[in-house]
Amino acid sequence: MKGKKIVLMLLVVIMVMSLFVGCADNTVKSDAAENTEKKETETAADSEEMNPKIKEMETILMNQLDPMPEIGKGENVGVLIISLTNPFWVNMKDKYEKAAENLGITVEVLSAPTEGDTVSQLETLDGMAVKDYDSIILSPIDGNNLIPGIIRANQANIPVINLGPGVNKKALEEQDGHLDGIITVDFMNQGKMVAEDMLNYITDGGKVAIIQGLAGAGQSEGRTNGAKEVFENTEGIELVSIQPGDWDRNKAYEITTGLIQAHPDLKGIFACNDVMALAAVEALEVAGLNDQVVVYGVDFTGEAQESISAGKLDGSITYSPSVYTKAGLLLALKISQGQDITEPVYCPLAIVNKDNVNEFNGWE
């Protein structure tokens, strides 16, 4: 009889414990479901709040990247940008890190100390080539400076993706190196689109000038050549100057000061990035000529957006850094997961000017 009581007591204890375990399990499941539902709700809300132009750009890029890679596998991606001295690249770093968090991967973003320090950028890539990355995304200062580092990454079997400013593929291939993927912008088209939009505000024709970036940099050469083609083939427009500003604000200010002294009847300036365009606006303001000269830049940085909204800078050209970096990371995942990508992926572009700047609220 005593043995039966003990057995009954054990059965009761087991049943009680089972109830507790069941409740705990249901609580965990409930919490997980709640978290998933919350995340889906937040994603939907973010999607609804996204600027329509960004949505359109994302759709175009995602269609190019289809089929998508597996997400959440915890890959480790190294990113080499140009320099954090430029607000454009500061923003790109931030967007890379946010995109990586959303994609469930680890990202390390490194850069050169300045926009012209080709040696330091190569040294940084050399260090990356011996790390345990699943892939490396890089944006070179010029077309040739990172070639030795790319070859070292090739030898270490780390896939290399070129984002933005182009690598000299011919020179790379001559040294038995290769890129595994390319995601970029049509820089020549950037220049063409800017020049064409500028001419909408220079209705009576006149003299125009171009302030280039760093000589030999792919984005600088492409933007310059695109704008030059439009200006030189437009009746009534005289292209009077093309000078390298080296992406430098002070140098662009000095160039603009010299331009308005040499050409007091100047009608337009295209600067190959917003940093230099804003310097041109400042120089024109000091000379009292801001209303006379149409000034456009490239990148649509936060400062440029404020200046256009204030009626100072006349325009810029942009793409969504948040979408661009997300697409770059997705491309890196596709390649590291074994997908062969043979064609470049191109990021779409949008012109911003004083008439449509309000359409770009919430741009990121």
All structural domains of the chain with their residue ranges: 53-184+321-347, 187-318
Nearest to 348 by CA among 51, 50, 62, 88: 62
Distance between CA atoms of residues 26 and 19, nearest Å = 10
Confidence check: pLDDT of 76 > 60: yes
At 34 the pLDDT is: 42
Where b means 16+ CB within 10 Å and e means fewer, 36-51 reads eeeeeeeeeeeeeebe
Does the N-terminal peptide bond of residue 264 adopt cis geometry, omega within 30 degrees of 0? no
CATH number for 53-184+321-347: choose from 3.30.70.640, 3.40.50.2300, 3.30.43.10, 3.90.230.10: 3.40.50.2300
Q: With contact defined as beta carbons under 8 Å apart, do 274 and 314 qualify?
A: no
At 364 the pLDDT is: 87
At 5 the pLDDT is: 42
Using CB atoms within 10 Å of the CB of residue 35, give its burial: 0 to 12 exposed, 13 to 18 middle, 19+ buried: exposed
DSSP conformational letter for 168: -
At 45 the pLDDT is: 38
**For the structural domain made of 187-318, what CATH number should be given?**
3.40.50.2300
Task: State the pTM of this model.
Answer: 0.82
Q: With contact defined as beta carbons under 8 Å apart, do 325 and 96 qualify?
A: yes
Token pair in block for residue 50 = 């996204």
For residues 319-329, average pLDDT: 96
Query: At residue 30, what is the residue type?
Result: S
Sheet holding 135-138, edge to edge: 106-112, 76-83, 135-138, 160-163, 181-184, 345-346
For residues 45-57, average pLDDT: 74
Confidence check: pLDDT of 18 > 70: no
At 216 the pLDDT is: 85
Q: How confident is the model at residue 8 (pLDDT cuts 50, 70, 90)?
A: very low
Residue located via tokens 């012209």: 116
For residues 123-151, average pLDDT: 97
Cα 198 to Cα 37, 214, 260, 273: the distances in Å are 48, 22, 18, 15
Using CB atoms within 10 Å of the CB of residue 52, give its burial: 0 to 12 exposed, 13 to 18 middle, 19+ buried: exposed
Token pair in block for residue 330 = 């997705």
Confidence check: pLDDT of 127 > 60: yes
At 136 the pLDDT is: 98
Q: With contact defined as beta carbons under 8 Å apart, do 190 and 248 qualify?
A: no
Which residues share a beta bridge with 204? none
Determine what percent of the chain is predicted with pLDDT higher than 70: 87
Nearest to 150 by CA among 163, 141, 162: 162
Q: With contact defined as beta carbons under 8 Å apart, do 218 and 187 qualify?
A: yes
DSSP conformational letter for 75: -
Domains 53-184+321-347 and 187-318 share a fold: yes
Contacts (Cβ under 8 Å, ≥6 apart) of 330: 65, 68, 69, 103
Contacts (Cβ under 8 Å, ≥6 apart) of 17: none
What is the torsional sign of CA 68, 69, 75, 79?
Answer: negative
- Maximal CA-CA distance, the chain: 115
DSSP conformational letter for 178: -
Nearest to 92 by CA among 327, 349, 342: 327
Cα 254 to Cα 151, 279, 307: the distances in Å are 39, 9, 20
